[in-house]
């Protein structure tokens, strides 16, 4: 159940939920149109309640949250508020809390999944994940000491860990074997094969792989811990022209090396480009999007991988992709680095996908006009009209 007075915000939350759970049954409630929920409302029949802070002029969202969390049998509550009520929300301790204007899809799905798992009191002893699913998932990987969870999806977890043999901080990525899925073995094997290829590469702009392992119910990868944050965070602060071009060169160089091994990234976006403290970039998450099926209603041809804002037209419509699709995604990233804006925006994922395929290529500000031809060559709608390899980006520059 989604409760908030703003229709656009209810629609946004619906999109986040149905993108991950296409069969979810969602009821949306507008307290300004339908009236405030009565005190005896118990939330019965709902697995989750997503509660926004907009309830009209005569009631504060924090008041509603207080009522909900006070009920012992109430379903898990995820609250979406503002900085002004953050301290009050923390005291009430809902199952999760987000700033309504700073919602990250992956983080939201992880927290919703955790809340659902906690409700069902799931504690798995049949996989590498054991312990209380609400307070933390602790991986059991021989040779590594768990420090903290960095993130998770339905099939994989990401953890900060310390390598026992060297006391070195590493990032552990763990893929669970899903025994009840027909294609899980194929996913499992391809996950390792992909990273075995990357592990053989020693490139300054590709994350370093230290270890690959497999057990009966999981595969794991230990890789370099990149402590400078991701490019998305760097974009928030603003990137000047010189650094934007430098970052473009580094990412293109990494793609040249990866494509030479016959590997496509397929999910190139600022969140998958990390910085080191020295300012250099490293590309991460090679092929990980291929492993976790991201079902999407956009097409009936098969799987859609990636993030709509950065998808090539062919990828967004479920067509075959090659290296030129990664170049398109890089063109979107470059445009965003230069301008601070995404080239295409819409209220829905479908709208964004449509624009990638049909909307004109946006123009850069006049001061950046020297890069317009490069943007045109990277964001061309047809793959044949684009640059044909990442190496051509350096040649053009």
Catalytic (active-site) positions: 267
Q: Are strands 156-163 and 144-152 parallel, antiparallel or unpaired?
A: antiparallel
State whether residue 324 is helix, strand or coil: helix
Query: How many C-beta atoms lie closer than 10 Å to residue 91's C-beta?
Result: 8
| CA separation for the pair 335, 353 (Å, rounded) | 17
Report the alpha-carbon distance of residue 251 to residue 268 in Å, rounded: 10
Residue 139 β-bridge partners: 129
Q: Are 360 and 354 in contact (CB under 8 A)?
A: no
Cβ atoms of residues 364 and 372 within 8 Å: yes
CA dist 374 and 97 (Å) reads 41
Q: In what order do the strands lie in the sheet with 2-3?
A: 28-29, 2-3, 49-52, 77-81, 96-99
Q: Which are the contacts of 65, defined by CB distance < 8 A and separation ≥ 6?
A: 51, 77, 79, 89, 92, 94
HSE-CB of 236 using CA atoms within 13 angstroms: 6
Are residues 273 and 230 in contact, defined by beta-carbon separation less than 8 angstroms?
yes
Integer CA distances (angstroms), 380 to 362, 375, 385, in order: 11, 8, 6
**Residues paired with 99 in a beta bridge:** 81
CA distance 282 to 224: 10
Q: Which residues contact 89 (CB under 8 A, 6 or more apart)?
A: 62, 65, 79, 81, 97
Can you tell me the distance from the alpha carbon of 48 to that of 52, in angstroms, rounded to the nearest whole number?
13
Supply angle C-alpha 349, 47, 124, rounded to 5.
100
């Amino acid at each position: 159940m989604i409760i908030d007075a703003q229709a656009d915000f209810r629609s946004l939350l619906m999109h986040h939920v149905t993108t991950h759970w296409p069969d979810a049954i969602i009821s949306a409630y507008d307290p300004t149109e339908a009236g405030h929920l009565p005190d005896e409302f118990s939330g019965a029949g709902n697995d989750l309640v997503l509660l926004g802070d907009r309830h009209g002029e005569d009631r504060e969202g924090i008041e509603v949250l207080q009522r909900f969390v006070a009920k012992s049998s109430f379903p898990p509550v995820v609250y979406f508020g503002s900085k002004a009520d953050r301290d009050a929300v923390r005291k009430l301790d809902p199952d999760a809390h987000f700033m309504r204007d700073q919602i990250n899809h992956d983080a939201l799905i992880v927290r919703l999944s955790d809340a659902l798992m906690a409700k069902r009191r799931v504690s798995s002893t049949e996989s590498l994940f054991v312990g209380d699913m609400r307070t933390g998932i602790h991986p059991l990987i021989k040779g590594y000491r768990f420090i903290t969870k960095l993130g998770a999806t339905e099939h994989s977890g990401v953890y900060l860990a310390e390598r026992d043999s060297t006391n070195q901080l590493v990032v552990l990525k763990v893929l669970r074997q899903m025994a009840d899925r027909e294609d899980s073995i194929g996913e499992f094997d391809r996950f390792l094969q992909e990273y075995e290829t990357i592990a053989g590469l020693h490139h300054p702009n590709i994350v370093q792989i230290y270890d690959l392992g497999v057990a009966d119910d999981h595969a794991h990868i230990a890789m370099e811990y990149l402590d400078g944050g991701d490019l998305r965070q760097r974009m928030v602060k603003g990137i000047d022209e010189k650094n934007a071009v430098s970052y473009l060169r580094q990412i293109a160089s990494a793609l040249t090396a990866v494509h030479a091994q016959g590997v496509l990234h397929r999910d190139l976006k600022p969140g998958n480009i990390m910085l080191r403290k020295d300012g250099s970039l490293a590309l991460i998450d090679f092929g990980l999007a291929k492993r976790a099926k991201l079902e999407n209603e956009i097409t009936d041809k098969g799987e859609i991988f990636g993030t709509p804002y950065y998808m090539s037209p062919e990828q967004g419509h479920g067509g075959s992709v090659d290296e030129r699709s990664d170049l398109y995604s890089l063109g979107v990233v470059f445009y965003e680095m230069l301008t601070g804006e995404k080239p295409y925006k819409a209220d829905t994922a479908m709208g964004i996908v449509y624009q990638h395929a049909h909307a004109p290529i946006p123009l850069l500000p006049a001061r950046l006009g020297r890069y317009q031809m490069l943007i045109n060559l990277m964001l061309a709608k047809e793959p044949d009209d684009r640059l044909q390899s990442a190496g051509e980006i350096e040649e053009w520059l």
